[in-house]
């Protein structure tokens, strides 16, 4: 029987009580042979994630300052889990090694990875599973690029040698053993890699909500769970800000056709969300699947009379951004205008150089930057065939008293994307959900 890979997120492993829930879940299905663990997350809204504490230790250490305050908080988090569960584990030995390394040669990714490393070791000890260090199987280049095929080969080999194992999420290493991490929330990616490498029949992603919700529950209370969703819809929603699953966690399992099931550790009987290539017939008619969004965008707006006659104008504009390492997110165009929506943080890091190059190379009639944009994506396979969805979205936003600053329809007809002022973001999402949810 093919195994199940189960990834448990930070809140699912935040304290001993959560570890007990995880054990019950694991024992309930013998197929749950490979587990991926996150670092302890928040126990309540006032709490701190161990990963955040580790980043703070690193930053203090790198500045040559005393990091004992966050370090002792980390010690206490793990000590409590060990004590409450009655585990035998040399925490002081493990922590003094980490502290030593932080003092002698502080490395940011190494520091951040230790939350997953320690938590996975504790979970393995608690369940009697083997511990399989991601540093030995998840491969990066020395400059931090993830190596998918080499990882798959190494991870498949390592997993084939163990019947049951816990793997720490979020990190791997290069050939010299230097640790590299994925971006934040990256344990979801490790889970997907393990599912592919193990030839799993299912990738379970256990978290603190009962699946993918129609929208962010921090903006709209009880938005309703999406029972089934396709990989493509999920990718759109997670890329645009539905942070329940890391946006890169879809690829490894999609290629292998392994379904993902997002589940709630605190309500294990809820069926959660199933993610696969196709929807069951009963849901195939659905028009809008979900709404997601993010703040932190800017739009570079370029105007030039007869731009339409200048072959390659858009390409040259995008090349200028690319040359400065700024990826573009959306690019709505008119006859004599083109806007490029970019991540504000990466754009601001090289803003004046980019604007200078645009002036020099493209000689626009007008060049401006719109700041403080939030982008909202309304996503659903059914939108391609349904009439009037865009009109309903736009009037919902207008009814919420919000001005739309940009519109872009993805070429797949899978989404409609609108840009609004950051200050209007929550209101616009609420308005859209009232009209379409
Ligand atoms: P974990 O620690 O288990 O990886 P995360 O905090 O990364 O969990 O993701 C779960 C959280 O994602 C939820 O608690 C919720 O606040 C947030 N979230 C944002 N958008 C959505 C959405 N559309 N559906 C579900 N959860 C969402
Ligand atoms: N612990 C890491 C983070 O907080 C990775 C994860 O939880 O997936 O981002
Ligand atoms: Mg997460």
Mean pLDDT of 391-420: 89
Q: 263 with 312, same domain?
A: no
| 422 is a domain residue | yes
Q: 43 with 182, same domain?
A: yes
Q: 238 with 342, same domain?
A: no
Report the C-alpha gap between 58 and 173 in whole angstroms: 18
More confident position, 413 or 239: 239
| 97 is a domain residue | yes
Q: What are phi and psi of 341, to 5 degrees?
A: -90, 125
Last residue of a domain, one of 245, 279, 313: 279
What whole-number percentage of the chain has pLDDT above 70? 100
Q: 63 with 165, same domain?
A: yes
Per-residue pLDDT, 107:
97
Q: What are phi and psi of 34, to 5 degrees?
A: -120, 120
Chain mean position to CA 20: 26
pTM value > 0.85: yes
| 284 is a domain residue | no
Counted domains in the chain: 2
Q: 215 with 304, same domain?
A: no
Q: 92 with 152, same domain?
A: yes
pLDDT digits (tens, 9 = 90+) for 48-72: 999 999 999 999 999 999 999 999 9
Report the C-alpha gap between 191 and 205 in whole angstroms: 8
At 125, the pLDDT band (50, 70, 90 cuts) reads: very high
Q: 85 with 223, same domain?
A: yes
Ligand 1 pocket, residue 293 CB under 6 Å:
no
pLDDT digits (tens, 9 = 90+) for 325-351: 998 888 888 888 999 999 999 999 999
pLDDT digits (tens, 9 = 90+) for 212-225: 999 999 999 999 99
At 313, the pLDDT band (50, 70, 90 cuts) reads: confident
Q: 250 with 295, same domain?
A: no
Distance 310 CA to ligand 3 centre (A): 45
Ligand 1 pocket, residue 207 CB under 6 Å:
yes
Q: 23 with 112, same domain?
A: yes
Q: 186 with 91, same domain?
A: yes
Identify the residue whose C-alpha is closest to ligand 2 atom 5: 185
Residue 300's domain is classified under what CATH number?
3.30.2130.10
What is the number of the ligand 2 atom nearest to the C-alpha of 116? 1
**What domain range includes position 203?**
4-279
Q: 153 with 50, same domain?
A: yes
| 249 is a domain residue | yes
Distance 386 CA to ligand 3 centre (A): 33
CA contacts within 13 A on the Cβ side of 80: 15
Distance 314 CA to ligand 2 centre (A): 37
């Amino acid at each position: 029987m093919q195994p199940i890979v189960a990834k448990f997120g930070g809140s699912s492993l935040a304290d001993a009580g959560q570890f007990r829930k995880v054990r019950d879940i694991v024992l309930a299905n013998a197929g749950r042979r490979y587990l991926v663990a996150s670092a302890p997350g928040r126990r309540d809204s006032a709490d701190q994630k161990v990963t955040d504490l580790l980043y703070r230790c690193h930053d203090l250490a790198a500045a040559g300052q005393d990091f004992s305050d966050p370090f002792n908080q980390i010690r206490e988090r793990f000590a409590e889990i060990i004590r409450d569960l009655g585990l035998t584990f040399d925490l002081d030995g493990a922590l003094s090694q980490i502290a030593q390394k932080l003092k002698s040669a502080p490395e940011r990714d190494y520091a951040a990875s230790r939350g997953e490393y320690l938590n996975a070791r504790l979970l393995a000890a608690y369940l009697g599973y083997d511990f399989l260090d991601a540093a030995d199987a998840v491969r990066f280049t020395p400059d931090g690029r993830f190596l998918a095929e080499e990882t798959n080969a190494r991870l498949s080999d390592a997993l084939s040698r163990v019947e049951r194992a816990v793997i720490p999420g979020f990190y791997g290493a290069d050939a010299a053993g230097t640790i590299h991490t994925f971006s934040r929330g990256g344990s979801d990616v490790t889970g997907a890699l393990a599912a592919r490498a193990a030839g799993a029949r299912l990738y379970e992603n256990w978290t603190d909500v009962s699946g993918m919700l129609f929208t962010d529950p921090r903006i709209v209370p009880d938005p309703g769970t999406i029972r089934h969703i396709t990989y493509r819809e999920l990718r759109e929603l997670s890329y645009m800000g539905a942070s329940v699953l890391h946006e890169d966690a879809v690829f490894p399992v999609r290629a292998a056709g392994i379904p993902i099931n997002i589940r709630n550790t605190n309500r294990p009987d809820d069926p959660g969300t199933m993610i696969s290539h196709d929807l069951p017939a009963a849901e195939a008619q659905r028009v809008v699947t979900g709404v997601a969004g993010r703040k932190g965008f800017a739009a570079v707006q370029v105007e030039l009379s007869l731009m339409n006659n200048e072959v390659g104008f858009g390409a040259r504009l995008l090349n200028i951004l690319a040359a400065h390492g700024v990826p573009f997110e959306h690019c709505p165009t008119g006859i004599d205008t083109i806007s490029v929506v970019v991540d504000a943080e990466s754009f601001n890091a090289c803003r004046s150089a980019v604007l200078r190059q645009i002036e020099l190379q493209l000689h626009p009639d007008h060049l401006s930057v719109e700041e403080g944009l939030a982008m909202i994506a309304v996503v659903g396979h059914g939108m391609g065939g349904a009439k009037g969805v865009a009109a309903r979205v736009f009037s919902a936003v207008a009814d919420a008293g919000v001005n739309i600053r940009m519109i872009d329809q993805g070429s797949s007809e899978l989404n409609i994307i609108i840009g609004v002022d950051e200050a209007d973001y929550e209101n616009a999402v609420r308005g859209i959900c009232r009209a379409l949810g």
